[in-house]
Chains A and B, each alone.
Chain A
């Protein structure tokens, strides 16, 4: 069973009388101890989906369940205790930590709020949390500004670990870090996931890192998931043209001087998504049905799914395809 399950989630933002559908029916699941990467261009809805996953934005459709319970949006009422085991790590550790409180105090706050450990055991637990994320014990007596960006992100992770979570949702945790700090943090996250059986939903625009650490990956385009499957398989043979273009656009530091593939066009305006497949205006392989009907995300074997008429036509029965599309 999945620890965190998002099914056909829809999120609408209302602004000045118009409605923007930021997430238009997306499904993602994270199993216990599994690392799932969620990738896509900015504006594709991946951060909104992350927020919906932890109940920070209300959904207009679909369901989010965590360990079998529905994840309800934050309200004035106290959050059900069980949901504390689902935690979010924000992108910017500079703004998510309190600059005026020592690191130890901030970690102890989390323990006190949830009352998970008796008062006299808190100091020991705080030191243990520091150790888990690779911070020296002396860190507890220092302020966030005394740490580098990478260390600050570790503190932010340590604070979520105080809640004894089973799933962490991480929104661009590695953005704004140098390569070496990224590598350190990525290693730490993999290590935590394996050691604590912690499920991770890793939202990132950095495909290389996701490729390296995630067990499974979901590719998002304009509010929908266009492909998902085991990371290695998706990288080796992307089944959706968008995944192919996205992966091909990553430059490689191999000294070859080969320019990455450019994807022409812009991400369309989410207030007026194109009819049919949302990617079809930019897709080099688009054919008749693509501009008419939106392709569903269908299983294509070996744990892989893609939402592309090219694949659906080749894998499902002819009747099924023609029932969906008339061309």
Chain B
């Protein structure tokens, strides 16, 4: 994804939702995209699948296996989007059809895209259900989405997404609606799929804990731009952008003293119609200098695979451990 820009029409004008986003994801890699709601995380993904609403304007470039997706004819894109790229949403009810049996939803897809006959499609469906650990696949095939619990439904949605052996899975807040115990199971599943199937996964989440558990590399979105990206451990243990740091500090920490207030970020994220000039974060930033209000800071390489969009870079030399967010905690490997 190179310099992706998306604007959506609203009230007679175009609102910029995604403003120059780029990143790449390799096979077998989980790429985490984090940010608050409205930061453009989801829209950037819908853009590459051609799923934006009427009137949306898209610029930049998105290449999948070397092929440009943004200027591809719609029919061709649907073929790729349905087979090689799959998507899982926060609410499995969105991706599963309520009136069709699970078996139908699993076989229809593979018959269309992989050209399997009925029997082989059914075998493939059972194999998929086994893969996502749904017990008694044959009974599950005859059942309907509402007959399953939230966690099971999300597993089935993942099975449907995997039906055509995609190379890329886009998981948009896949565990947000689930209990932590069920979430843990889904995270284990995603981790196994990328290791065993060489699946590339883009994991969109507002939960930095979820991202920390499975993502290899991460990028932090703010108001339609990437403010910081890099390997998981670097970004989460020694965040350099003031926004990344603030996001981490807003999280409750197990070691924090009782009654020590959580560190909330002042103000609220801007709405797409009212994004501040210069660095969009500057009005909420404790380290902003005069130029932050004027110039949009470019995302530039700072060290190795790390990139940062902050010319002030107040934490350039912060040692891991200098902030409470940087404490390296030891806990049993499970």
Partner of B184, one of A212, A235, A263: A263
A179 touches B234 (CB 8 A): no
The stretch from A2-10, A21-29, A180-188 touching chain B is A180-188
Interface string of A134-151 (1 = CB under 8 A from B): 000000000000001011
Which residues of chain A are near B36, meaning CB under 8 Å? 178-180
B235 touches A255 (CB 8 A): yes
**Interface check A208, CB cutoff 8 A:** yes
**Interface check B179, CB cutoff 8 A:** yes
Which residues of chain B are near A205, meaning CB under 8 Å? 179-180
The range of chain B's interface size is: 35 or more
The range of chain A's interface size is: 35 or more
CB distance from B248 to the nearest CB of A (A): 6
Which residues of chain B are near A213, meaning CB under 8 Å? 252
Chain A, range 200-257, C-beta contacts under 8 Å to B: 205, 207-209, 211-213, 232, 235, 245-246, 248-257
Which residues of chain A are near B333, meaning CB under 8 Å? 258
B264 touches A267 (CB 8 A): no
Closest to B213 in A: A251
B233 touches A179 (CB 8 A): no
Which residues of chain B are near A256, meaning CB under 8 Å? 212, 233, 328-329
A257 touches B264 (CB 8 A): no
Which residues of chain A are near B237, meaning CB under 8 Å? 254-255
B180 touches A250 (CB 8 A): yes
CB distance from A230 to the nearest CB of B (A): 10
CB distance from B132 to the nearest CB of A (A): 13
Partner of A253, one of B179, B208, B264, B269: B208
Closest to B210 in A: A251
Interface core residue of B208, B212, B253, B269 (most chain A CB under 10 Å): B212
B251 touches A255 (CB 8 A): no
CB distance from A299 to the nearest CB of B (A): 23
A258 touches B184 (CB 8 A): no
**Interface check B250, CB cutoff 8 A:** yes
Interface string of A40-55 (1 = CB under 8 A from B): 0111000000000000
B262 touches A186 (CB 8 A): yes
**Interface check B9, CB cutoff 8 A:** no
A260 touches B187 (CB 8 A): yes
Interface string of B193-211 (1 = CB under 8 A from A): 0000000000000111111
**Interface check B94, CB cutoff 8 A:** no
**Interface check B263, CB cutoff 8 A:** yes
CA distance A316 to B184 in the complex (A): 35
CA distance A262 to B207 in the complex (A): 17
**Interface check A261, CB cutoff 8 A:** yes
A208 touches B251 (CB 8 A): yes
The stretch from B121-129, B149-157, B160-168, B303-311 touching chain A is B149-157
Which residues of chain A are near B185, meaning CB under 8 Å? 262-264
**Interface check A84, CB cutoff 8 A:** no
**Interface check A259, CB cutoff 8 A:** yes
Partner of B334, one of A178, A232, A252, A261: A261
**Interface check A190, CB cutoff 8 A:** yes
**Interface check A320, CB cutoff 8 A:** no
Closest to A264 in B: B185
Chain A, range 259-316, C-beta contacts under 8 Å to B: 259-264, 266-267
Partner of B180, one of A194, A246, A253, A264: A246
CA distance A256 to B188 in the complex (A): 15
B264 touches A180 (CB 8 A): yes
CB distance from A68 to the nearest CB of B (A): 29
A212 touches B213 (CB 8 A): no
Which residues of chain A are near B187, meaning CB under 8 Å? 251, 259-260, 262
A254 touches B251 (CB 8 A): no
Closest to A269 in B: B149
Interface string of B219-239 (1 = CB under 8 A from A): 000000000000011111100
Known contacts A255-B212, A259-B187, A261-B334: A267-B149 contact under CB 8 Å = yes
Which residues of chain A are near B1, meaning CB under 8 Å? none
Chain A, range 146-192, C-beta contacts under 8 Å to B: 148, 150-151, 178-184, 186-187, 190-191
Interface core residue of B150, B233, B253, B254 (most chain A CB under 10 Å): B254
Closest to B234 in A: A255
Which residues of chain B are near A249, meaning CB under 8 Å? 180-181, 183-184
**Interface check B56, CB cutoff 8 A:** no
CB distance from B115 to the nearest CB of A (A): 36
**Interface check B214, CB cutoff 8 A:** yes
CA distance A213 to B209 in the complex (A): 19
A211 touches B331 (CB 8 A): no
CA distance A249 to B186 in the complex (A): 11
Interface string of B13-56 (1 = CB under 8 A from A): 00000000000000000000000110000000000000000000
Known contacts A148-B268, A253-B211, A257-B212: A180-B152 contact under CB 8 Å = no
Sample 25 A-B pairs with CB under 8 A, ordered by A number: A41-B182, A42-B179, A178-B37, A180-B36, A194-B259, A208-B251, A208-B252, A211-B254, A212-B262, A232-B258, A246-B180, A251-B210, A252-B212, A252-B329, A253-B209, A256-B329, A257-B213, A258-B213, A258-B334, A259-B213, A260-B183, A260-B334, A262-B188, A264-B185, A266-B149
| 4 pairs of A and B residues whose beta carbons are closest in the complex | A255-B236, A212-B252, A251-B209, A183-B262
Residue ranges of A at the interface with B (Cβ–Cβ < 8 Å): 41-43, 148, 150-151, 178-184, 186-187, 190-191, 194, 205, 207-209, 211-213, 232, 235, 245-246, 248-264, 266-267
10 further A-B pairs in the complex, CB-CB below 8 A; given A249-B180, A255-B235, A256-B233: A179-B247, A179-B250, A179-B251, A187-B264, A211-B254, A212-B262, A257-B212, A259-B214, A260-B334, A262-B188
